[in-house]
Chains A and B, each alone.
Chain A
Amino acid sequence: MKVLAAAAVAIVALGSMAACGDDKGDTPGTASSGATKKSVKVGLAFDIGGRGDKSFNDSAATGLDRVKSELNLEVKDLAAVAGESENDKYARLKLLCTTGYNPVIAVGFVYDGADAKNGPLARAAKDCPNTKFAIVDGGTTADNVADLVFAEEQGSFLVGAAAALKSKTGTVGFIGGCQVDLIKKFEAGFTAGAKAAKADVKVLTNYLSTPAEACKGFNDPAGGKTAATGMYDQKADIIYAAAGGSGTGVFEAAKAKNALAIGVDSDQYNTVTDASLKTVIMTSMLKRVDNAVFNFVKDFGEDKFKAGPTVFDLKTDGVGYSTSGGQVDDIKDKLDKFKADIVAGTITVPTK
């Protein structure tokens, strides 16, 4: 009997790993489409979460889908599994390059590993010297690796300014999906933008999870809703949800409290599934991973591969804010002024 109980514990543990791992792993569109052989095959390895996270990974997936449809190339994407080792990540990248995929795109800094010099991507790049690699959000350096990085703080600065300008209570909120440096960059930009627009604005912050909880706050709409409701009760009237899939919960709370929210990564006014939530999405901070992926493949095809970091910032429209819904039209001038100042370098946005 006790043994069965232990089996149950083990299986529950497995199940929970599966649940937070990948419930949308399979991609019917890309499966075995070997009918028409093409010269260039593009491989892409997702971060944990994979397709369907309505945020970061999906943005990369959009770029890959555009590669497929517009450039008419064969593509293949593989998803990561929760709890896998660095060697598994290495094996995934190597599997792609040894089965003829070139270029290969690694989505997410996890492919850097702890020690970027000897991490999964560095090892795969060394084993496949003739394959070109790209890493989104990463920092691996090698002759055949391009680092696609974003100035998220700049985009966050603009939506922070927008929030401060539109706030009637003088209090705005920030909800991060996970307490990691990357998301803290969003917070830093958002706070700086808000203070720049209105010096006395009050910014409430909250993180939904930590890495120890496998960053579940990126996919926890209920948690997002609870946190947002609390902030609205503390007089915040606009909340920036830098929390991936949890953003939906923030939007729901905004609707219930008759307040506003700001989306992240994609233009969530357009991607949100429940159309009735559109009205609460004032704007979204855009992180154009799709553009980065698409342009990387395009450049590769045109023999313009460039090793090392490529920063996608306001200047290159790698980040920005959305205007769908027209709720920030009245302050567009002010926001564009900030944007110009940042591009010109007169405003330096902090990253911490």
Chain B
Amino acid sequence: MTTAAVGARRIDVGKLLPQLIAPVAALVIAAAISSIALLISDKDPLTAFQHMYEFGTQPDQKVEILNKASELYIAAVAVAFGFKMGLFNIGVEGQSKVAAFFAGALASASFMDWMPGGLRIVLIVVVAMIVGAAWASIAALLKTQRGVSEVISTLMLNAIGGLVVTWLLNDHWGVTEPGAQIKTTGILPEDSWMPGLPIVSGTEQKVLGFFAIAVVLGAAYWFVINRTRFGFDLRATGYNPFAAVASGVNAKRMVITAMLISGAVAGLVNLPRMLGESHTYTEGFGGIGFTGIAVALLGRNHPIGMALGAILWGFLASSQIILDLDGIPKEIILIMQGVTVLSVVIAYELAARIGRRAQQRRVGVATAAAAPAAAEVVEESK
């Protein structure tokens, strides 16, 4: 009985099904609550949703949704690397700012003029990852050496990082391009603008080139988490830190490694726009790191789930423009985003419990049926 069943089913439908229903249910709830808000403000929800859909499926908007999704996805992966082991890197925002700023400033510095464009892109990516990791390492060291909660320290470092960047940009390294008024780190030479991807038909617009890197990053994330020893240690720590330590995981080293990886990925967050849209670092950058937390929660730290979450979020964010044109309060979108995150988190939690209970029940049934047989075997062997 047992041997027949062992190893047969890798996918447990009973456990998986609630997990799949959960986000759908959460979305329905979010839509319902948003509808109530719309009705209160005397707008027809169906028209609003229809306009959102029509607008969002226009080729131009598809491009922007994928652009937004790319940066959100990178931020979500950065957060998820920490979440997987129960480490809360709330500092993706600050890490991404500091990283993009230094990478941008270095890449457009005059002594870099000799560098060919392709190499400069590589330089920007590498420097941003190193700086992001370095900024994150402060929080990691504070946690391992002084026991400071990473939630507090990363939040504080967001503020510090933002101010350091502002100071350097405004008072030292910032330049203003002719015709513009905002300070930048200098427009990159055109040969290091990352080419866009013509993957959406029906528009001249191209998806930011970093979209491809986000896809690769997602695959790498999956591989590291699920197929490497490090990923196992990371997950084990997230499941049960005590058992992980007993299994030989060095908790402090784990915190530092996870934080460095999270910070390095965070360093990439602003690069899609920097390399493909603004071609420089500006103070307009920011906000994605925080939203990445929501996307990681939406996607349950799963590479595919986060991708769907990022696309959903990108869709909602770009819909604000069309709602504004219809005279519908854009706050509806904020309500929808907030409610979606909350209901998804709650729905997943419920689904996990239901799934676990269902599984326990089935194991109970299966082993109860097997038990008398086993008992007889014991009797016979006597």
Chain B residues near A180 (CB-CB < 8 A): 170, 181
- The answer to whether residues A26 and B273 also contact, given A91-B61, A112-B179, A116-B180 and a CB cut-off of 8 A, is no
Q: Which of B110-118, B250-258, B285-293 contacts A (4 or more CB under 8 A)?
A: B285-293
Complex alpha-carbon distance, A66 and B263, angstroms: 51
Which residues 1-33 of A sit at the B interface, judged by CB distance below 8 A? 2-7, 9-11, 13-15, 17-18, 22, 25-28, 30-32
Asked if residues A11 and B338 are in contact (CB atoms below 8 Å), the reply is yes
Min CB distance, A209 to chain B, in Å?
Answer: 10
* Pairwise interchain contact B60-A94, C-beta atoms closer than 8 A: yes
Beta-carbon contact of A11 and B88 below 8 Å: no
Q: C-beta contact mask, A130-156 vs B, less than 8 Å → 1, else 0?
A: 000000011111000000000000000
* A84 cross-chain contacts in B, Cβ below 8 A: 317
Once the chains bind, are A114 and B279 in contact (CB under 8 Å)?
yes
CB closest residue in chain A, given B278: A114
Within 8 Å by CB of A110, from B64, B182, B277, B341, lies B182
- Tell whether, in the assembled complex, residue A91 and residue B325 are in contact, meaning their CB atoms are under 8 Å apart: no
Given contacts A10-B291, A26-B330, A114-B180, could you give 14 more A-B pairs where the C-beta distance is less than 8 Å?
Answer: A10-B290, A15-B334, A31-B326, A83-B286, A85-B67, A85-B68, A109-B181, A113-B278, A117-B177, A119-B180, A139-B179, A141-B179, A210-B167, A212-B166
Chain B, residues 133-175, CB within 8 Å of chain A (1/0): the string is 0000000000000000001000000000011011100100000
Q: Which residues of A contact B286 (CB under 8 A)?
A: 83
**In the docked arrangement, what's the CA distance between A82 and B286, Å?**
9
Contact of A7 (CB < 8 Å), options: B60, B328, B341: B341
Known: A78-B324, A138-B181, A181-B176. A85 touches B273 (CB 8 A): yes
The residue from A4, A22, A139, A213 contacting B330, defined by CB atoms under 8 A apart? A22
Asked if B345 CB lies within 8 Å of chain A CBs, one says yes
Q: Give 7 CB contacts A-B under 8 Å.
A: A7-B297, A14-B294, A28-B327, A114-B177, A211-B283, A212-B163, A212-B165
Chain A residues positioned under 8 Å from B67 (CB to CB):
85, 87
When C-beta atoms are compared, the residue in chain A nearest to B155 turns out to be A9
Q: Which residue of B lies closest to A85 (CB)?
A: B273
Report chain B residues within 8 Å CB of A213. Answer: 162
Closest B residue to A18 using CB positions: B334
B102 at the interface (CB under 8 A from A): no
Instruction: Choose one: B88, B184, B279, B293; the contact of A2 (CB below 8 Å).
Output: B88
Q: Whose C-beta in chain B lies nearest to the C-beta of A28?
A: B327
Known: A6-B297, A110-B284. A87 touches B178 (CB 8 A): no
- A150-172 contacts to B (CB < 8 Å): none
The chain A residue with its CB closest to the CB of B287 is: A83
Residue of B nearest to A139 (CB): B179
Q: With A6-B83, A7-B297, A18-B331 as given contacts, are A112 and B325 in contact (CB-CB < 8 Å)?
A: no
| B177-A10 in contact (CB<8A) | no
Residue among B60, B162, B178, B287 with max Cβ neighbours from chain A (10 Å): B287
Look across to chain B and name the residue whose beta carbon is closest to the beta carbon of A25.
B330
| A residues near B177, Cβ cutoff 8 Å | 114-117
| Binary flags per residue of A42-63, CB closer than 8 Å to B gives 1, else 0 | 0000000000000000000000
A317 near B: Cβ within 8 Å? no
- Fill in one digit per residue for B306-346: 1 if any A CB lies within 8 Å of its CB, else 0: 00000000000110111011111111001001100110010
**Contact in complex: B181, A112 (CB < 8 Å):** yes
Cα A29 to Cα B151 in complex, Å, equals 44
Contact A181 B181 (CB under 8 A): yes
A28–B325 alpha-carbon span in the complex (Å): 12
- Docked Cα-Cα span, A277 to B65, in Å, equals 47
B residues sitting closer than 8 Å to A (CB atoms) are 41, 60-61, 64, 67-68, 83, 86, 88, 90, 151, 162-163, 165-167, 170, 176-184, 187, 273, 277-280, 282-284, 286-288, 290-291, 293-294, 297, 317-318, 320-322, 324-331, 334, 337-338, 341-342, 345, 349
Which of A11, A17, A139, A179 has its CB near the most chain B CB atoms (within 10 A)? Answer: A11
Tell me, in angstroms, the Cα distance from A32 to B48 when the chains sit together.
Answer: 13
> How many of chain A's residues have a CB under 8 angstroms from any CB in B?
61
- The CA of A141 and the CA of B178, in the complex, are separated in Å by 10
Mask of A99-116 contacts with B, CB within 8 angstroms, 1/0: 100000000011011111
CB distance from B263 to the nearest CB of A (A): 17
State whether the Cβ of A97 lies closer than 8 Å to any Cβ in chain B: no
A117 to B327, CA, bound (A): 31
| Among A2, A7, A31, A115, contact of B180 (Cβ-Cβ < 8 Å) | A115
Flag whether A331 is at the interface (Cβ < 8 A): no
Tell me, rounded to whole Å, the shortest Cβ–Cβ distance linking B176 to chain A: 7
Say whether A79 faces chain B, with CB atoms less than 8 Å apart.
Answer: yes
Q: Is the CB of B290 within 8 A of A182?
A: no
Name, among A25, A76, A109, the residue most crowded by chain B CB atoms within 10 Å (CB to CB).
A25
Q: Do B329 and A26 touch across chains, with their CB atoms under 8 A apart? A: yes
Assembled-state Cα–Cα distance A223/B41 (Å): 33
Contact A26 B327 (CB under 8 A): yes
Is there an interface contact between A3 and B184, defined as CB atoms closer than 8 Å? no
Are A78 and B162 in contact, CB atoms less than 8 angstroms apart? no
Say how far B80's CB is from chain A's closest CB, in angstroms. Answer: 11
Chain B residue contacts of A18, Cβ below 8 A: 331, 334
Q: Which residues does chain B contribute within 8 Å of A5, judged by CB atoms?
A: 88, 151
Establish whether residues B342 and A113, one from each chain, have CB atoms under 8 Å apart when the complex forms.
Answer: no
In the complex, the answer to whether B60 meets A114 with C-beta atoms within 8 Å is no
Q: By the criterion CB–CB under 8 Å, are B345 and A112 in contact?
A: no
Q: Which residue of B lies closest to A79 (CB)?
A: B324
Tell me the minimal C-beta distance from A87 to chain B in angstroms: 5
Asked whether, in the complex, the Cβ of B320 is within 8 Å of the Cβ of A81, the reply is yes
Residues on A with beta carbons closer than 8 Å to the beta carbon of B297: 3, 6-7, 10
Contacts of B273 in A (CB 8 A): 85-86
Tell whether A288 is near chain B: CB-to-CB under 8 Å: no
How far, in Å, is A23 (CB) from chain B's closest CB? 8
Using Cβ atoms and an 8 Å threshold, which residues of chain B touch A27?
327
Could you tell me the distance in whole angstroms from the C-beta of B300 to the nearest C-beta in chain A? 9
Residues of A within 8 A of B86 (CB): 2
